[in-house]
Amino acid sequence: MSTAIDVPDETRADPPGAGDGRPAGSLRGLDLALPGRLALAVVGGLCVWLTFPDANVPALGPVGVALLSAAILGTRPRTAAILGLVGGLACFVPTLSWSGIFVGPVPWLALATVEALYVAAMCAIVAAIHRRLLRRPPTAARDALVALAVPLGWVAQEWLRGSWPFGGFPWARLAFGQTDGPLLRLAALGGAPLVTFAVAAIGAALHLLVVTRWTRPELLRYGAAPAAALALVLLAVTATPVPTDGTPTPLTLVQGNTPREGLDFNAERRAVLDNHVRGTQRAAERDGTPPAAYLWPENSSDIDPLRNADAKAQVQRAVDAAGAPVLVGAILDEPAPEVSNASLLYRPGEDAPSQRYVKQHPVPFAEYVPYRSFFRLFSDKVDLVRVGFARGRGSAAMPVQTPGGATVDLVPSICFEVAYDGLVREAVTQHPDRESVLVVQTNNATFGRTAESTQQLAISRLRAVEHGRAVAHVSTVGVSAFIAPDGSLSGRTELFTAAQVRGEPVARAGRTIADRVGPLPEVLAGLGLVALWFAGRGGPRRRLGRNATRPTPPTDREKDRLRA
């Protein structure tokens, strides 16, 4: 009687099939030394980076996941963590390079490292689940569970990374690299988590079908069937049309530009305000019939127009010239000693804003500094943030009228808030039966001529599809654009130019499936990982103990029978 052997060498999750009672071609890890696996992890991370703007190669997303999956399969958790950290750094260091453009490499590399640590943790957990599952006898079901751990791990990792600490930083998710690919449509069904799951699932299938021995003919029944099923499902979903009907709503984006690039862009705050006033006056002269509203970006008035008479007069000049509501991005000197990053809606004939929205998620280390004395030990740049920003409470819907008399809501989000699933979802679902347009007001002057602007625009494109809403994305210095509910762009501007763009995005009502399911995909991903962990406990196991009896080598006749 022979006993199956589990080879302790971490570079092979399964030993060769001959003589151990397992079918030839059973799923196993690559026979690679650590340097080879590190190379796979680095290339995989770089592939994920290349999916984001400005490279925009969405097809490399599954390739990157496949390479990282191949690197960690069969390794111990601690080795997988090292591989994940290296792969994460290969992705986040170039992707987040804009974060150090004016503050130096320390904050940039610190942010990239923190983000990469989440990938390291994910790889360690997935590798541990793999090792538990691979102790079970090899079957198609077992190998499917091994593959499933990869996309579940990615979704759970992005969920945690976007939530903790300090509210998280959900930038550079797999989903945000798919805005120029067919998988973007999946956002309407499950938001960014479902798009990430699809990218990672395709990557895991690619790994198992191409990199491992699943391509052997005798395993065709295991590998081809799920791959064909996955392809058919994706084809059906991506072929589903995304509704783009609604009420045309004329809006004008005013990109005023700044006198200079960098952290001191607002050193001439009055000049920035004047630029937006002049831009609105020029647009009003050109437009003829006033639009439903003129949209200014974040920081268009860093002088508080509620307390400074000069700033108030300038804003009033713009509103009078526009003959239409003007949505102003302003910094308010309240509540003392903090300040507020706000959207103020001014209407013609009124000398004060009729509605306001205050940013709910100030950015740590940019708009407030937690544990300032501790982080000053690493960089004195924390003292550039002299005053903390207060948190707003709740979203806002600001009704305006189209020239045709229809009433639609403008629903603002400010800057990085667009990256947080819950904030945008709450803004959309507060009044789901009222037609609305999402407005993303941002200021990208502090990131120079980097990909930060286009990365943020890509996130807005996903939000448009996810919530079935048009988005008016307006930046102080660019990139600004109108985004249709299917994610397509119009009126896109260039960086560091003054521009006024008129468009007619459609206002729509209702809730998408993604709005209805909310965070359920992320909850299911977390529960799925727990279930896979426990799935590796039951059933017969194959382990080589110190005193275990090794199997008798098979005879030639038995080998022929196994081959048959």
Q: Please write the tens of the pLDDT for every residue from 453-501.
A: 999 999 999 999 999 999 999 999 999 999 999 999 999 999 999 999 9
* Catalytic one of 115, 298, 435, 466: 298
Single-letter amino acid code for the residue at 335: P
Tell me the pTM: 0.88
| Cα end-to-end span (Å), the chain | 21
* Catalytic one of 10, 312, 415, 452: 415
Single-letter amino acid code for the residue at 254: V
* Catalytic one of 359, 367, 435, 452: 359
Active site residue 123: no
Helix (H) or strand (E) holding 506: strand 506-507
- How many degrees, rounded to 5, is the angle at CA 53 between CA 48 and CA 57? 55
> CA torsion sign, 301 to 344 to 488 to 280?
negative
Separate counts of helices (H) and strands (E) for the chain:
15, 14
β-strand 340-346 against 355-358: which pairing, if any?
antiparallel
Whole-angstrom distance, CA of residue 57 vs CA of residue 194: 19
Write out 396-451 in H/E/C secondary structure.
CCEEEECCCCCEEEEEEEEHHHHHCHHHHHHHHHCCCCCCEEEEEEECCHHHCCCC
Per-residue confidence (pLDDT) for residue 101, from 0 to 100: 86
Active site residue 298: yes
Cβ 450 vs Cβ 261: under 8 Å: no
Q: Tell me the pLDDT band of 138, cut-offs 50, 70 and 90.
A: confident
Active site residue 359: yes
Cα 147 to chain centroid, rounded: 22
Assess whether the previous peptide bond of 264 is cis (omega < 30° from 0). Answer: no
Whole-angstrom distance, CA of residue 312 vs CA of residue 521: 46
- Whether the pLDDT of residue 98 is over 70: the answer is yes
Whole-angstrom distance, CA of residue 453 vs CA of residue 455: 5
Each residue's pLDDT tens digit, 66-79: 999 999 988 999 99
Whole-angstrom distance, CA of residue 41 vs CA of residue 164: 25
Mean pLDDT to the nearest integer, 173-197: 95
Cβ 129 vs Cβ 533: under 8 Å: yes
